[in-house]
Chains A and B, each alone.
Chain A
Amino acid sequence: MGPAALSEPNRLHGSKTRREKWIQRFFLAAGGFSVLAMLLIVVFLFKEGIWLFATVSIPDFLFGQAWYPTYEPADFGIAPLIVGSLVVTAVSSLIAVPLGVAVALYLAEVATHRVREWMKPAVELLASLPSVVLGFVGMVVLAPLMQEWLDIPSGLNILNASLMLAIMAIPTITSISEDALHAVPRELKEASLALGATRWETLTRVLLPGALSGIGTAVILGMSRAMGETMVVLMVAGGAAQIPSSIFDSVRPLPATIAAEMGETPFGSEHYYALFAIGMVLFLITLGFNLVAAHISRRYQQKGASTL
């Protein structure tokens, strides 16, 4: 006993804080690394893409109607590609959002425990389907059927691509929406039912508004997934660089253009820079989506039961 015994717990305490400090540093490094990787990718993208604008003006690039990158003289107008991307994203959202939210409502509130037990993993399994498999299904199975049934010139079109993208987006939308529904305070639901509201009324007027911010985030993230998806649109959207006039027209979304042309483009050519510039545009669009999602989840956040 004496001074030595007294310092013992202090030393222990000291080594614990030191260890915690190291753990903290490790996590800071891990977080910092992903931010750094993100920054480097953005810098690289812009560093390569910006050179295009030495020869092609920004309005000609964004609003030009013709994409003929390898001709003499070349045209680098990406308006048809942007429209193609937006159209498949919009149509796939029209399909995926109602379905995805409905599945989430069903799983969270209606399904019995046994049904939920197998249906939830089944929906999540959809998310693990490789996109190339979906693309293959769309190309080999759906496209000929669609052409036969609807008697249209080609089954590789906006509708086909949107259906495949919707299948990819549904699991994202469903699982985030379901989490949001579960996060609605239980007493709200109980109070609503106790006041004599039917289950339908409780679902649509209490739970759904309560989970709105989460569902909004889910929808935007699902859309951003559809926007950036490459393989499916490369395989089933048809790849025609035109502004479509119906949902049975072929389009050529932005990611498909990069994927199809990058492999054989001479390094350092105008075409090469143009593909990077397309990457910039794509990045800015998905960044926009994510900012909107962040804004929605902050703005409409449900804070307890009081704000409903």
Chain B
Amino acid sequence: MKFKLVAMSLMVAGLAGLPAWAAGDSVSITGSTTVLPVAQKAAEVFMKKNPQVNVTVAGTGSGDGIKAIIDRTCDIGNSSRQMKDKEQALAKEKGVDVKEFTVALDCIVPVVNPVNPVKDLSMAQLKEIYTGKIKNWKEVGGEDKPVVVVSRDSSSGTFEVWNEMVLKKERVRPDAQLQASNGAVAQAVAGNKYAIGYVGIGYLNPKVKALTVGGVMASPETARNKTYPVARGLYMYTCGEPQGQTKAYLDFVLSPEGQKLAQGEGFVPVK
């Protein structure tokens, strides 16, 4: 029993020691699959500029990224949500001083066909359309035509935001058309007069019409000042103040060049 305890504490100590040893010329990143494309893209360019540094990025999930930071098993933990109170308490308990960096914003915009006269929907109306309570456009001030609901496949990060913020985790109506990418949603809505869909702000194009939500038009500004309701931050967490190459990498992500890369992946830059 005692032996087991010693062995375990040795293991924990070993794990805790890992990042310190690895901090030299490699940066390990893990967590949210939504943040993954930003982190990955930044890592590629960063490594091209600093060939001596090895940045590894893994996509596992937000919860996992935060857990990895609390357990000190990685240098940067990615998350598409802020740390929960419980996680913060756990970090404090383990003596980990977690630092948060907002690296980009994810802003989702409802879109309809340009011929659709509807211009604005409230959060409540969006929810009722997606859960199937509203089935006809005339109920929200449009023509007397059926609403064709286009959604994303339920494992995508875009759906996750929509599900959490708009649907409040209620189920999407089962006859909703599921498309596998932002581009496919835009295409489906562009080709259907009665359709409504949602895409990341980077995927808006002239063939679809962006709706305002509760009177607010999605834009980088409204996403940043939080007046637009369907937006969230993408976060990177570190254990204590970042140092060495971890700091260099984070500085790069937050630099104008890094932010441009995030924009290229369809996200809103923080500044």
A residues near B (Cβ < 8 Å) are 66, 68-72, 80, 139-140, 143-144, 147, 153-156, 234-235, 238-242, 249-250, 252, 259-261, 263-267, 271
Interfacial chain B residues near A259, Cβ < 8 Å:
180
The contact of B178 among A139, A153, A154, A260, by CB within 8 Å, is A260
Rounded to whole angstroms, the CA-CA distance of A71 and B179 in the bound complex is 18
Extra inter-chain contacts (11) besides given A70-B155, A143-B191, A264-B153, CB under 8 Å: A66-B174, A68-B171, A140-B187, A153-B145, A154-B195, A156-B188, A240-B174, A241-B174, A242-B174, A250-B175, A264-B156
The contact of A235 among B61, B148, B184, B193, by CB within 8 Å, is B184
Interfacial chain B residues near A238, Cβ < 8 Å:
177
The contact of A69 among B33, B61, B155, by CB within 8 Å, is B155
Rounded to whole angstroms, the CA-CA distance of A172 and B156 in the bound complex is 36
Contacts A240-B177, A241-B174 hold; do A266 and B154 have CB atoms under 8 A apart? no
18 example contacts (A-B, Cβ-Cβ < 8 A) are as follows A143-B191, A147-B191, A154-B177, A154-B192, A156-B177, A238-B177, A239-B180, A240-B178, A241-B178, A250-B177, A260-B153, A261-B154, A264-B153, A264-B157, A265-B155, A266-B60, A266-B61, A271-B155
Contacts A235-B184, A264-B157, A266-B61 hold; do A139 and B191 have CB atoms under 8 A apart? yes
- Counting contact residues on chain B (CB < 8 A from A), the size range is 20 to 34
CB under 8 Å from chain A, chain B span 158-177: 159, 169, 171, 174-177
Interfacial chain B residues near A80, Cβ < 8 Å:
174
Interfacial chain A residues near B187, Cβ < 8 Å:
139-140
Closest CB in chain A relative to B205 CB, distance in Å = 14
Rounded to whole angstroms, the CA-CA distance of A263 and B36 in the bound complex is 13
Q: Does B24 contact A (CB under 8 A)?
A: no
Closest CB in chain B relative to A11 CB, distance in Å = 61
Closest CB in chain A relative to B37 CB, distance in Å = 11
Give the secondary structure class of A's interface.
loop
Is the pair B184, A155 in contact by a Cβ cutoff of 8 Å? no
Closest A residue to B61 by beta carbon equals A266
The contact of A154 among B60, B148, B155, B159, by CB within 8 Å, is B148
Rounded to whole angstroms, the CA-CA distance of A250 and B150 in the bound complex is 11
Closest B residue to A250 by beta carbon equals B177
Is the pair A71, B194 in contact by a Cβ cutoff of 8 Å? no
Is the pair B148, A153 in contact by a Cβ cutoff of 8 Å? yes
Q: Does B146 contact A (CB under 8 A)?
A: yes
Contacts A139-B187, A266-B60 hold; do A70 and B178 have CB atoms under 8 A apart? no
Rounded to whole angstroms, the CA-CA distance of A252 and B157 in the bound complex is 20
Closest CB in chain A relative to B178 CB, distance in Å = 4
Is the pair B155, A264 in contact by a Cβ cutoff of 8 Å? yes
Is the pair B174, A234 in contact by a Cβ cutoff of 8 Å? no
Interfacial chain B residues near A235, Cβ < 8 Å:
184
Interfacial chain B residues near A234, Cβ < 8 Å:
180
Is the pair B192, A144 in contact by a Cβ cutoff of 8 Å? yes
Rounded to whole angstroms, the CA-CA distance of A207 and B167 in the bound complex is 61
Closest CB in chain A relative to B208 CB, distance in Å = 14
Rounded to whole angstroms, the CA-CA distance of A71 and B174 in the bound complex is 13
Interfacial chain A residues near B159, Cβ < 8 Å:
70
Is the pair A239, B178 in contact by a Cβ cutoff of 8 Å? yes
Closest CB in chain A relative to B151 CB, distance in Å = 9
Is the pair B61, A143 in contact by a Cβ cutoff of 8 Å? no
Rounded to whole angstroms, the CA-CA distance of A241 and B193 in the bound complex is 22
Rounded to whole angstroms, the CA-CA distance of A147 and B145 in the bound complex is 13
Closest B residue to A249 by beta carbon equals B175
Interfacial chain A residues near B194, Cβ < 8 Å:
153-154
Closest B residue to A67 by beta carbon equals B174
Closest CB in chain B relative to A24 CB, distance in Å = 47
Interface string of B112-154 (1 = CB under 8 A from A): 0000000000000000000000000000000001101000011
Rounded to whole angstroms, the CA-CA distance of A156 and B191 in the bound complex is 9
Contacts A140-B191, A144-B191, A154-B195 hold; do A71 and B171 have CB atoms under 8 A apart? yes
Rounded to whole angstroms, the CA-CA distance of A150 and B177 in the bound complex is 19
Interfacial chain B residues near A241, Cβ < 8 Å:
174, 178
Closest CB in chain A relative to B122 CB, distance in Å = 23
Rounded to whole angstroms, the CA-CA distance of A1 and B1 in the bound complex is 90
Interfacial chain B residues near A71, Cβ < 8 Å:
154, 169, 171
Closest B residue to A142 by beta carbon equals B191
Interfacial chain B residues near A156, Cβ < 8 Å:
177, 188, 192
Closest CB in chain B relative to A109 CB, distance in Å = 42
Rounded to whole angstroms, the CA-CA distance of A69 and B163 in the bound complex is 13
Q: Which of B154, B188, B194 has the most CB of A within 10 A?
A: B154
Rounded to whole angstroms, the CA-CA distance of A263 and B177 in the bound complex is 18
Is the pair A260, B146 in contact by a Cβ cutoff of 8 Å? no
Closest A residue to B153 by beta carbon equals A260
Rounded to whole angstroms, the CA-CA distance of A69 and B193 in the bound complex is 30
Closest A residue to B184 by beta carbon equals A235
